[in-house]
Structure formats: C-alpha cells, structure tokens
Amino acid sequence: MAWSSALRRIFSHPWVLGVLGILTVFGVWLLVTSSGLVDKLFLPGPGAVWLAGTEQFQRGILVADAVASIRRVFLGFMISAGLALPIGIAMGTNRTICNFLEPLMALIRYMPAPAFIPLLIIYFGLEELPKVMLIFIGTFFFNTLMIMDAVKFVPSELVETALTLGGRGLPILTRVVAPFVAPQVLDTYRINMASAWNLVIVAELVAANEGLGKRISLAQRFLRTDEIFVGLIVIGLIGLLIDLGFRFLMRRACSWAN
C-alpha cells in the first residue's frame, strides 16, 4: 500500500525515530505526572520544570552557572587535549618513548578521577584550579593513549611514499601523520569531552560557589526536584551541542574520511 511505503520511508530517516524516542519518554513523563499517581515532590511535571527553568534564567543564575561549568570544562580539556596531542604522537612514532610512558599511563588511567578530588582540594584549595585539574586528570591519559593508537595505525606506505619523494623529519609529521590522524583525534576529543563534562559536575557537587552541578546539590538541600531536573536537562543539552559541534567540525575539516 502507498501509505505504508511512505511511512516506512519517513521512519527510515535516522532523525525521525530518534526524535520519536525522546517524545515518547516526554509523553510518559507528562502522563504520569498529570495523572497524580506520583508525588509532585519526587517527580515534578514538565510544566513545573519549565517554570523553574525560566525563573532561574530570569534571575540570571542559569546562564552564570552554565558559563562557570563550561569555562572549567574548556580550560581543563584544552590543557589535556593540547598536551595529549604531542605526547600521543611522540608515543605513537617512537618505541622508546612509548615503552617508557605507556605502562605508567595505563596504570593512572584506571584510577578513577573523582578519587583525586580530596587530594586536589588539599593541594589546591577550593578555587577553580582543583576543578580544572580534575578534568585534566580525567581526560589526559585517555586522550594521549587514543591518539597514540591512531598514530600507530598510520599505514607505513604513506610515510614511505613521502620519504621516497624527498621528505624527511618534521614535514613527515605535519604533512602525513597529522592529516591522517586528524579525524580520529577529533573523534577522541569528542568522546572524552563527555567524561570532562561528567567530571565538572562531580567536582561542583563536592565544592563550588556556582555551576550547574552546584545548583543541583543546592536544590537537593531544599527538596527542589524541579530545579534538579532543570540542571540535568541543561547539562544534557549542552553536552549534546558540544557533541554535534565536534561532528560538524569533523565533517567540515575531514570530509575525505567520511
């Protein structure tokens, strides 16, 4: 039948089902809360969450919190990404450096980053530095090892071709290795950005004056579940936007790899 094939065509679009999945959960949420089966104190309805969100926005704290959290994430992640790139490339191209650093990194990688929080507070106090450091610790080793792996898998033919064309030294790195691994490096950053975003919230739950995580822990103290929901949804949306940003960047900068 015509309508069934049209329907199938609509559902084959990757976005349609994704949006439908979100809408389903939203619908169930609306249904459960409006039926009065659940205490509003535990599960506020979409309307209440929207109100709490707009109120936070009008008071200016929503934007201030988001900016505070985003700043920490970007600062910590930029240091992590910036250091991981040369070290990962060095490990991927040089056996000695790799043998020296890989066991150490593999060990630290398995220490949960949040377990460093007490130490970081003792060392750096309660200001910005311990939070930025936490994000650095939580992402640097993953970033480095994943970049190292990408570099190790550069086909030797690509490097050797450059050598037989008269290339030597640094240009091999910048003009062959770097462009080849660029898509994987961007993907590494995209994946590990998610943990950076998780860690900033954890750090703020422990100690902070502002930030999306801090707002959630304050809301818990006053049993403001609607504000907790606002925090969770905003955190999710910002994370999604960052993810999409990386994907966009990858499509633009590395169209050859798609």
Partner 1 sequence: MHLQVSNVSKSFGEGRDCKLVLQDISFELVSGQFMALVGSSGSGKSTVMRLIAGLERPSAGSIHLDGELVRRPGSDRGMVFQKYSLYPWLTAAQNVAFGLSLQGRGKAEIRERTAYFLDVVGLADAARLLPRELSGGMQQRVAIARALATEPKVLLLDEPFGALDLQIRESMQEFLHDLWKTTGLTALLITHDIEEALLLAGTVHIMAPRPGRIVHTVDVRLDRSDLRHLRVSQPFLELREELAGRLRSLDGSLL
Q: Which residues bind partner 1 (CB under 8 A)?
A: 155, 157-158, 160-167, 171, 175-176, 179-180, 182, 254, 256-257
Minimum CB distance to partner 1 smaller for 183 or for 231: 183
Minimum CB distance to partner 1 smaller for 82 or for 171: 171
Distance, in Å, from the CA atom of 14 to the CA atom of 91, rounded to the nearest integer, reads 38
CA distance readout (Å), 63 to 70, 80, 127, 129, 153: 10, 25, 20, 21, 43
Q: How many CA atoms lie within 13 A of 123 on its CB side?
A: 12
State the minimum distance, in angstroms, from the CB of residue 221 to partner 1.
53
Angle of CA points 54, 55, 57, to nearest 5°: 60
Minimum CB distance to partner 1 smaller for 1 or for 165: 165
Q: In 59-176, where does DSSP find H-type helix?
A: 61-93, 95-109, 117-124, 128-152, 156-164, 170-172
Residue matched to tokens 């329907």: 7
Minimum CB distance to partner 1 smaller for 59 or for 247: 247
State the minimum distance, in angstroms, from the CB of residue 166 to partner 1.
4
Minimum CB distance to partner 1 smaller for 40 or for 251: 251
Q: Is the dihedral of CA 185, 191, 194, 196 positive or negative?
A: negative
State the minimum distance, in angstroms, from the CB of residue 205 to partner 1.
43
Angle of CA points 74, 80, 84, to nearest 5°: 140
State the minimum distance, in angstroms, from the CB of residue 249 to partner 1.
15
State the minimum distance, in angstroms, from the CB of residue 174 to partner 1.
11
Minimum CB distance to partner 1 smaller for 123 or for 153: 153
State the minimum distance, in angstroms, from the CB of residue 183 to partner 1.
9
Amino acid (one-letter) located at 188: T
